[in-house]
Amino acid sequence: MAVNRHHAVYVISVAAELSGLHPQTLRIYERKGLIEPARTQGGSRRYSQADIEMLQRIQDLTNEGLNLAGVQRVMALEAEVRRLHAELEEARRNTGVAVEAARREGRRDLVPVSDQAVVLYSKTRRPRK
């Protein structure tokens, strides 16, 4: 049975122990918007394994000298990089599917071109005689 990294199961004391941080630090990170633990119906915080990993990443960044605003910016940029990588992979998959469909249809006007196959043409003017 696979464990869902995003399933919130840890109470704040366990999350603090697993992350190596004080429970008050976890509350501060939540107030600053660095982490958003799930809540029970009664309002108690519940942390997932993904949250624990995020807390450890925050701790690594602060240990490297970043303040919380810097940590927030780095984490936003890391999330953007992950999103762009996923978008790029999707575009690659779609392109591969389109090229394969074109091949199956017998179309020869769409062919993949490698960088080595591209030659730039430069017409130089010859002096008139």
* Residue-wise pLDDT tens digits, 51-76: 999 999 999 999 999 999 999 999 99
Residue 37 sits in which domain range? Answer: 12-108
Q: How many domains does the chain have?
A: 1
Structural domain includes residue 68? yes
CATH of the domain at 67: 1.10.1660.10
Global pTM reads 0.67
Structural domain includes residue 120? no
Of residues 110 and 66, more confidence is placed in: 66
Structural domain includes residue 125? no
Structural domain includes residue 113? no
Amino acid 5: pLDDT: 79
Pairing of strands 45-46, 38-39: antiparallel
**Section 3-17 average pLDDT:** 87
112: pLDDT strictly greater than 70: no
Structural domain includes residue 122? no
Cβ burial, residue 119 (10 Å; 0-12/13-18/19+): exposed
Amino acid 19: pLDDT: 93
Structural domain includes residue 79? yes
Structural domain includes residue 1? no
Structural domain includes residue 123? no
Q: pLDDT tens digits, residue range 20-43?
A: 999 999 999 999 999 999 999 999
**Section 103-124 average pLDDT:** 65
**pLDDT over 70 for what percent of the chain?**
80
Instruction: Name which of 41, 15, 18, 9 is nearest 27 in CA terms.
Output: 15
Distances (CA, A) of 80 to 21, 76, 84, 85: 26, 6, 6, 9
